[in-house]
Amino acid sequence: MISAFMCRGLPFRLALPLSNVTNADDSLSCSVVIPTSGRPDELERCLIAVARQDYPNYDVIVVDNSDGDPETERVARKWKARYVLERKRGLCRARNRGALVSSADIIAYLDDDSVPEPNWLTGLAAEFADPLVMGAGGKTIPLRVETDAERLFAKIRGDAYSRPAPLVVDNKTPYWFEICGFGGIGPGCNMAVRRAAFEVWPGFNERTGRGTPIYGGDEQHAFFSLVSRGFRVAYTPHALVRHPFPPTMETLRKRYLHDLTASTAFFTLMFFEEGDYRRNTLKYIWEAARGKERIWRGSVSRRPRVVSPVMSALALAIGPIRYFQAVLADTRS
């Protein structure tokens, strides 16, 4: 994900009034959608945690983003989840497919290696008591921090996804474009979208996210595009998910380079596909290149070096190429 390496710190006083987690309207039905591909062990760990949710009104949909895997299907059915096949590769395709087959009021999303706390779904659902809130993200912390790579990633990531203060953003909020478009709401492994949004919103951009050349930017584009349409999105620390960090230095370096490439691929997408916000995108890039601190992130410490400057520059340069590869793949499909 882009924002793991690009976005850190605490928001300052931007929030609109936010309902407390205890005010959740549990009459809202929820579908927990879990895209997966060839990871039945991680999926089962996730489903065990989902089965412990204290929310009274939800079902579970596992979207197998492959040609079909009997072991994935077996695990899904073991935990009484609906098994859906989406053969066309791409995380966002799987997310959209999950929303399409659901009739619930709220679609809550997890990665297959996420481990939600028992009150996770209650925390997310509470944000939708506000009828203008169409999307929400929650607090995400590491599953464990034991290896050198996990400790280094924790230092790089900081508290980007584990802020203590709630936040609600609309298109009148200062810095809303930056917050929504560049990682201020939360990661895709812990988020929810109101089902009604899909009636007026095209859904997750299927050129973004894992399984595409762009690789990232999926949740950022979703939150941005919802707010640009006049809706609100929210971050809540009351919806807690644990998610693995890269366990080895090799996987950390690979993740770091992927994220750098994804960042410039996403910038390219925003420039070419979001013409009304082209100037905002260029301004953000220019300020980032000059090292400007973002007020809404709070203080940001110097990031440790993970790869050489040459490798970093190369990864950044590849991003625009990845965007055009995504466009080409989309026109051929």
Convert the pLDDT of each residue in 25-80 to its tens digit.
568 999 999 999 999 999 999 999 999 999 999 999 999 999 999 999 999 999 99
pLDDT at residue 25, rounded to an integer: 57
Convert the pLDDT of each residue in 132-187 to its tens digit.
999 999 999 999 999 999 999 988 887 778 888 999 999 999 999 999 999 889 89
- CB crowding 246-276: b at 16 or more within 10 Å, else e: bbeeeebeebbbbbbbbbbbbbbbbbeebee
pLDDT at residue 297, rounded to an integer: 66
Domain annotation for the chain: domains and CATH numbers: 3-252 (3.90.550.10)
Query: Given a cut of 50, is residue 330 above it in pLDDT?
Result: yes
Tell me what the mean pLDDT of segment 195-208 comes to.
Answer: 96
Query: Given a cut of 50, is residue 87 above it in pLDDT?
Result: yes
Tell me what the mean pLDDT of segment 210-224 comes to.
Answer: 96
Q: pLDDT band for position 292 (50/70/90)?
A: confident
Going from the C-alpha of 83 to that of each of 33, 74, 103, 113, 210, the distances in angstroms are 10, 9, 15, 17, 20
Tell me what the mean pLDDT of segment 87-104 comes to.
Answer: 97
Place of tokens 């309902």: 19
Convert the pLDDT of each residue in 266-281 to its tens digit.
999 999 999 999 999 9
Convert the pLDDT of each residue in 237-258 to its tens digit.
999 999 999 999 999 999 999 9
Percentage, residues of the chain above pLDDT 70: 90
pLDDT at residue 72, rounded to an integer: 98
* Residue spans of alpha helices (H) in the chain: 3-6, 40-50, 70-78, 91-101, 120-126, 148-157, 176-181, 218-228, 249-273, 278-289, 309-332
CA 200 to chain centre: 20
